[in-house]
Structure formats: C-alpha cells, structure tokens
Amino acid sequence: MQEHALNARPDLKSYLNTRRSVPALQMSEPGPDRSQINEMLRLATRVPDHGKLAPWRFVVIAGESRTRIGVELARIATERRGDLSEKEVEIERERLARAPVVIAVISTAGEHPKIPLWEQQLSAGAVCLNLFMAANALGFAANWLTEWYAYDAATRPLFGLKDGEQIAGFLHIGSSEMTPPDRPRPDVDALTTFLD
C-alpha cells in the first residue's frame, strides 16, 4: 500500500503498530514532573470535541495523595466486602501507589441542546487515549485503568467528583524497563463491512 506522501507519518504508524500498555505494577520512579504533566494534559486535549464543550477535566494524583486515597480505598473495600485478607487490604491500599503519577480523566458530560451526551463521553475517552500516547511521547510508560473504584459511589468524594460527573479512566504513568509482550489482536476483516 502506497503512503500518501504529503501527510504520511511513518513514525506515528510505527508507534501505533507497537503501542502497548505497561502494567501499573511494573512502573517505577521517575514519574513526570509538573511541567511534563502539563505538557501531557495540553496534548491530551487535542481531541474531537463537538461544540468546543471540553466535557472533561483532570485530577492529578501524585506524592502523598496516592497513599492517603489508597487508605480510604482499602477502608471502603473492607466495608463493602468485609472478608478481605490482609493481602487484599494491602492491594487496595497500594492501588494508586503502583505508579508515580495517576491522572483521573473526569467526564463532565451533560445534557446539551445540540451535542448528544454520548458524543461528549466519547470525547472523554479520546482524551484518555491521547493522554496515554502523550505520556509515551515524553518517554513514560502508561496504563489506562478504571477498576472498581471508578464506579463506586463511596469513592466519588476522594476524587472530587461533582454531580453527574464520571471517571472515564485512571492513567497510571511512570518509568519501566519492561517491554510488554504483544497480545492477540482482533481480526479486522471479521469486524469490517465495506459499503461500496
């Protein structure tokens, strides 16, 4: 297949062919500093956004806040299940400390006279993927996770969620020496219909 010479981005094509998530447990210091985080967030917002609503916002979880929120996650998980082993409590406590920086992408999508809710939510998802790629572009490993605490009503105050807001994803960002193995990919031919 011939590349369209004017718009070809072979480096981007190569990246997309090899893009992988690094497990959060495989991440270590250093994480991005404040200026690098700001650059990632600026790049992340370059997404389709019909109506220029910016129906998303960010909560950066770094430093001691990772541990403080982790203690609360362990408490809530214990209240929910009541039968957690000490190892399971520790897993909950460490959820946000696995990577040096965790950025919550918050969907602020709401009713709008012209822009459907679904389109606004899709824009928040696009921000998550752009943030993942922006972290990689700056040399950091990344992983987009949601996990149970993205959906539990009791965790909402921990992340400063307002009425109607939802967590689109937690982007775990750090360093890693690991090259994650590839996984089986979908059969594009089986998923595609051409309407010629």
Residue 168: what are its φ and ψ, rounded to 5°? Answer: -80, -30
Region of poorest pLDDT, from 65-69, 118-122, 136-140, 182-186: 182-186
Q: pTM for the complete prediction?
A: 0.93
pLDDT digits (tens, 9 = 90+) for 84-138: 999 999 999 999 999 999 999 999 999 999 999 999 999 999 999 999 999 999 9
At residue 3, the pLDDT reads 59
Per-position DSSP letters for 59-109, written without gaps between them? EEEETHHHHHHHHHHHHHHHHHHS---HHHHHHHHHGGGSSSEEEEEEE--
At residue 82, the pLDDT reads 86
C-alpha–C-alpha distance, residues 88 and 102, integer Å: 21
Mean pLDDT of 7-35: 93
C-alpha–C-alpha distance, residues 77 and 88, integer Å: 9
Q: Where are the alpha helices (DSSP H) in 113-195?
A: 117-137, 188-191
Percent of the chain residues topping a pLDDT of 90: 90
109-129: b or e for each residue (b if 16 or more CB lie within 10 Å)? beeeeebeeebbbbbbbbbbb
**Residue predicted with more confidence, 8 or 33:** 33
Percent of the chain residues topping a pLDDT of 70: 97
Per-position DSSP letters for 26-72, written without gaps between them? G-BS----HHHHHHHHHHHT-S--GGG---EEEEEEETHHHHHHHHH
Residue numbers in the known binding site are 19-21, 46, 50, 144-146
Residue numbers in the known binding site for FMN are 19-21, 46, 50, 144-146
pLDDT digits (tens, 9 = 90+) for 133-154: 999 999 999 999 999 999 999 9
C-alpha–C-alpha distance, residues 47 and 129, integer Å: 10
At residue 9, the pLDDT reads 84
Residues 6+ apart with CB under 8 A from 9: none
Structure tokens at 11: 């480096």
Instruction: Look over the chain and give the mean of its residue pLDDT values, rounded to a whole number.
Output: 94
Cα Rg for the chain, rounded, in angstroms?
Answer: 19
142 three-class SS = strand
At residue 4, the pLDDT reads 59
State in words which class domain 23-63+96-177 has: alpha beta
C-alpha–C-alpha distance, residues 142 and 28, integer Å: 11
Segment (H or E) for 12:
helix 10-18
pLDDT at 5 over 70: no
Region of poorest pLDDT, from 30-39, 150-159, 177-186: 177-186
At residue 178, the pLDDT reads 86
